[in-house]
C-alpha cells in the first residue's frame, strides 16, 4: 500500500511533536486509543483567556497515517477557538491526507483526541464535559 | 556501492539464483514438451528433465525420487498432505493434531477438515514457540491418524523438535506430516533420520521459481498414500493430476542441488550476519527477540521494539529496506500476528515487531545500513511515542485505563 505524499511529509517532518504541562489549568490533554490496538494518540491544547488555542502538541504510537493525522490535527487546532476546534471532522482529515479506507480509524482517533482534550480543558475550568456521540468506526 | 532497496524478507520469498534461471531457460523454448507425451522426442526430453529434477529434490531431503510428488507450491502440498491423509485413512480415524503457530495453509486446511466432520487438536506453544512433547503424546487418541507440525516457523524461525515428535508418532502408529517450507534448503532435513512421513515444501523459498513445490510421501515403513485432491490424468502416481510445470520443476531441482552444495557455507556466512544484526539492534533499549534463539533457523530474527508501532517503524525505511512486521495495521482486522500472540506476547509487543529474513544474497554492507536505519528510526519514533514517554516517567502502562477503541 502506498502512502499519499502528505502522509509521508507529516511522517518525515511531523509538526508540533511534544509535551505541554498537563497539570496546567489552561492545558487540555486527550489520550485515546490503546496499545493493544496498535495506536495511542496523545493530543494537547493550550488555551488563552479568550478561548483561543495558542499551542497544540502531540505524541503518537501508531502507523504513519496515525502520526500524520495527529500532526495535521495539531496544525489545524492552532489559532482556532475551542468552539471552532469542535467542528473538526474526521472526514476532513481523511480528505486532506487522502487516507485509504483501512486507515479511516486513524482520523477517527484524531477527532476523538481533539474532543477528549477539549473536555479535559473544560472540566479543569469548571465547565461541563460535552457528551459526544459514540464514534462509528472503532 | 550499496544498491537500494535492500531485500530482507527472504521468509516471504527468495530471489532466484541466476544458476537456476540458466537451467530453466531451455525448457521454456526448445525443450517445451509435455512430460507425459510418451511418443516423441519432445516428451522424452521433458520427462528426462523431470526425472533428473526429481532426483535432485529427493537427494536434498534424503528421499527416494519416487517419493516426490510435484505440486504448485507448499500451500497445495499442505492441502494435499493433510486432506489426502484424512480421506485415505478415514476408516482408521478422524483426529488430527496440529499447533496454533502453523502456517495458515495448515490451519485453514484443518478448519476445513473440522467442517467436514474431522476432529482437530490445536496444541499451544510455550514462550519460545515450541510445543510440549508430553502434551503432544497426551493428545493422541485411538482415532488419531495424523500429527501436522511444521519444521520451522515462518515468522520467528523457531525449529520444532521433529525427531522427538516423529518418535512419538511412530510409537503410537500415527503419521507425521510436516510443513518444511522454511527449513528445507536452509538446514539439513532428512526424511529418514527425522522420521517424516509426509512433507510439503516450495521452490521459491530456496532461490527457485515460484509456482512449484513438492509433497514428499513416504513409500516404505510405512507405505503412505494420499487421496488425490484434483481429478485428471493421474500424473504423479495418481496423487496429483495436471501437466507438469517442466521449467519450474527443472529450476526446483537445480535450486535443491545448489542448496545442498552451498548450505554449509551459506549458513556460516548468513548466521554471522544475522547474529551481528541482532546484537546491534538489541543494544537499543527495550528490544526483545521473539521465540527461541537456540532452536532457530540461521537466517531469521524477529525483534520487538517496545513502544514503537511496527508499521510506523517500517515506514521510516521501507523505500530502502524490505521487511515484514507482525503488526497487522494494514489488514482490515487490525489483529497483530497470531504467531506472536501464541508465544504469549502482549498485543503491544506483537504490534512492535519486525521480521528479518536474511538470504544467500545478503551482504555485510546491507546489514550495516539496516542496523543504522532501524536504530535511527526507532529512536526518532520513540521521541514521538506517548507510551515511551510514560515508560520513561516510570508509569506502568498496564495501570492505565485505555479508552475503548
pLDDT in tens, B6-23: 999 999 999 999 999 999
Using alpha carbons, list the distances in angstroms from residue A19 to A60, B21, B150, B389, B398: 11, 56, 48, 9, 21
Q: How far apart are CA B79 and CA B106, in angstroms?
A: 7
Name which of B191-200, B262-271, B320-329 the model is least confident about. B320-329
Mean pLDDT of A12-41: 94
Condensed to tens digits (0 to 9), the pLDDT of residues A78-102 reads 999 999 999 999 999 999 999 999 8
Contacts of A14 in chain B (CB under 8 A): 384
Q: What is the mean pLDDT of residues A108-128?
A: 95
User: Is the peptide bond between B222 and the residue preceding it cis, with omega within 30 degrees of 0?
Assistant: yes
Indicate yes or no: CB of B347 within 8 angstroms of CB of A37: yes
Please provide the average confidence, as pLDDT, over all residues in chain B. Answer: 95
Q: What is the bridge-based pairing of β-strands B95-99 and B119-123?
A: parallel
Report, as an integer, the average pLDDT of B56-67.
98
Would you state the pLDDT for residue B318?
Answer: 87
Which domains does chain A possess? 5-123 (3.90.1010.10)
Contact between chains at B389 and A63 (C-beta distance less than 8 A):
no
Cβ-contact B300, A49 below 8 angstroms:
no
pLDDT above 90: residue A47:
yes
Say whether pLDDT at B282 is over 50: yes
Which chain B residues contact residue A67 at CB under 8 A? 312, 384
Coil/strand/helix, residue B46 = helix
Show residues of chain B in contact with A69, CB under 8 Å.
Answer: none
Comparing alpha-carbon positions, the chain A residue that sits nearest to B307 is A61
Closest chain B CA to residue A137: B405
pLDDT value of residue B29 = 95
Q: Contact at 8 Å (CB) between B307 and B385?
A: yes
Strand order across the B198-202 sheet: B68-71, B213-217, B198-202, B175-179, B144-148, B95-99, B119-123
Can you give the pLDDT at residue A3?
86
Which of A106, A109, A110, A114 is labelled catalytic? A106
Over the stretch B28-37, which tens digit does the pLDDT of each residue have? 999 999 999 9
Residue B72 near residue B249 (C-beta atoms within 8 A): no
The three cell numbers locating residue B386: 506517548
Using a CB–CB cut-off of 8 Å, the residues of B that contact A are 307-312, 315-316, 327-332, 334, 336, 346-348, 351, 383-389, 397, 400, 402-405
Asked if the model's pLDDT at residue B142 lies above 90, the reply is yes
What's the mean pLDDT in A91-117?
A: 94
Distance from CA of B398 to the nearest CA of A (A): 10
pLDDT of residue B360: 97
Rounded average pLDDT over B346-368: 94
pLDDT confidence tier of residue A135, bands split at 50, 70 and 90: low
In contact, B372 and A47? CB cutoff 8 Å = no
Which residue in B has a C-alpha nearest to residue A17's C-alpha?
B384
Query: What is the per-residue pLDDT for A136?
Result: 47
Phi, psi (deg, nearest 5) at residue B119 = -125, 135
Q: Choose between B207 and B335: higher pLDDT.
A: B207
How far is B207 from A99, CA to CA, in rounded Å? 37
Q: Catalytic site residue A63? A: no
The C-alpha atoms of residue B400 and residue A109 are separated, in whole angstroms, by: 18
Q: Does position B335 have pLDDT exceeding 80, yes or no? A: no
pLDDT band per the 50, 70, 90 thresholds, residue A138:
very low
pTM for this entry: 0.93
Distance from CA of A126 to the nearest CA of B (A): 23
- Is the pLDDT at B204 greater than 80? The verdict is yes
- Check: complex ipTM more than 0.95: no
Nearest to A61 among B307, B332, B346 (CB): B307
- pLDDT (mean) for B64-72: 98
In whole angstroms, how far apart are CA B2 and each of B17, B319, B362?
Answer: 20, 14, 11
pLDDT more than 90, % of chain A = 85
- Res. A66: pLDDT tops 70: yes
pLDDT at residue B330, as a whole number = 45
Give the domains, in start order, of chain B with CATH numbers.
Answer: 6-11+263-394 (3.90.1150.10), 18-259 (3.40.640.10)
pLDDT score for B404:
53
Q: Does A35 touch chain B (CB under 8 A)?
A: yes
Q: Taking all residues of chain A, what is their mean pLDDT, rounded to a whole number? A: 93
Give the pLDDT score at B325. Answer: 87
Amino acid at each position: 500500500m502506498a502512502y499519499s505524499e502528505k502522509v509521508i511529509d507529516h511522517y518525515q517532518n511531523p509538526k508540533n511533536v511534544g509535551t505541554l504541562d498537563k497539570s496546567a489549568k489552561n492545558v487540555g490533554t486527550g489520550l485515546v486509543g490503546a496499545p493493544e490496538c496498535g495506536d495511542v494518540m496523545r493530543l494537547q491544547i493550550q488555551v488563552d483567556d479568550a478561548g483561543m488555542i495558542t499551542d497544540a502538541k502531540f505524541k503518537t504510537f501508531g502507523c504513519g497515517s496515525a502520526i500524520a493525522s495527529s500532526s495535521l490535527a495539531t496544525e489545524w487546532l492552532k489559532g482556532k477557538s475551542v468552539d471552532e476546534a469542535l467542528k473538526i471532522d474526521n472526514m476532513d482529515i481523511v480528505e486532506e491526507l487522502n487516507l485509504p479506507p483501512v486507515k479511516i480509524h486513524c482520523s477517527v482517533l484524531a477527532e476523538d483526541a481533539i474532543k477528549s482534550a477539549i473536555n479535559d480543558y473544560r472540566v479543569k475550568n469548571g465547565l461541563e464535559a460535552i457528551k459526544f456521540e459514540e464514534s462509528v468506526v472503532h | 556501492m550499496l544498491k537500494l532497496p535492500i531485500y530482507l524478507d527472504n521468509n516471504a520469498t527468495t530471489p532466484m539464483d541466476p544458476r537456476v534461471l540458466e537451467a530453466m531457460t531451455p525448457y521454456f523454448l526448445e525443450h517445451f514438451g509435455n512430460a507425459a507425451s510418451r511418443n516423441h522426442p519432445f516428451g522424452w526430453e521433458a520427462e528426462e528433465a523431470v526425472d533428473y529434477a526429481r532426483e535432485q529434490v529427493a537427494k536434498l531431503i534424503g528421499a527416494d525420487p519416487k517419493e516426490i510428488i510435484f505440486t504448485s507450491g507448499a500451500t497445495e502440498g499442505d492441502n494435499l498432505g493433510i486432506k489426502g491423509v484424512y480421506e485415505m485413512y478415514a476408516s482408521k480415524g478422524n483426529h488430527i493434531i496440529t499447533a496454533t503457530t502453523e502456517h495458515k495453509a495448515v490451519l485453514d486446511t484443518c478448519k476445513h477438515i473440522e467442517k467436514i466432520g474431522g476432529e482437530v487438536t490445536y496444541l499451544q506453544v510455550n514462550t519460545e514457540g515450541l510445543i510440549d512433547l508430553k502434551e503432544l503424546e497426551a493428545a493422541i487418541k485411538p482415532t488419531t491418524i495424523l500429527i501436522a507440525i511444521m519444521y520451522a516457523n515462518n515468522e520467528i524461525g523457531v525449529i520444532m523438535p521433529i525427531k522427538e515428535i516423529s518418535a512419538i508418532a511412530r510409537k503410537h502408529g500415527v503419521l507425521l506430516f510436516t510443513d518444511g517450507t522454511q527449513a528445507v534448503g536452509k538446514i539439513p532435513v532428512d526424511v529418514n533420520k527425522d522420521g517424516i512421513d509426509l512433507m510439503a515444501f516450495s521452490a521459491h523459498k530456496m532461490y527457485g521459481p515460484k509456482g512449484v513445490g513438492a509433497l514428499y510421501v513416504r513409500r516404505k515403513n510405512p507405505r503412505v498414500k494420499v487421496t488425490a485432491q484434483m481429478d485428471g490424468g493421474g500424473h504423479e502416481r495418481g496423487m496429483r493430476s495436471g501437466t507438469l510445470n517442466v521449467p519450474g520443476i527443472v529450476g526446483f531441482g537445480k535450486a535443491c542441488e545448489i542448496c545442498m552444495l552451498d548450505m554449509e557455507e551459506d549458513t556460516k556466512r548468513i548466521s554471522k550476519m544475522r547474529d551481528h544484526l541482532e546484537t546491534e539492534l538489541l543494544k537499543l533499549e527495550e528490544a526483545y527477540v521473539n521465540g527461541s534463539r537456540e532452536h532457530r533457523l540461521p537466517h531469521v530474527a524477529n525483534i520487538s521494539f517496545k513502544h514503537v508501532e511496527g508499521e510506523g517503524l517500517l515506514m521510516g525505511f521501507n523505500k530502502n529496506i524490505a521487511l515484514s512486521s507482525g503488526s497487522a495495521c494494514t489488514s482490515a482486522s487490525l489483529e497483530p500476528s497470531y504467531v506472536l500472540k501464541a508465544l504469549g506476547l502482549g498485543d503491544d509487543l506483537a504490534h512492535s515487531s519486525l521480521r528479518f529474513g536474511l538470504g544467500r544474497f545478503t551482504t555485510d554492507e546491507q546489514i550495516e545500513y539496516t542496523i543504522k536505519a532501524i536504530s535511527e528510526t526507532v529512536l526518532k519514533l520513540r521521541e514521538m511515542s506517548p507510551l515511551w514517554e510514560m515508560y520513561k516517567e516510570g508509569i506502568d502502562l498496564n495501570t492505565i485505563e485505555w479508552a475503548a477503541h
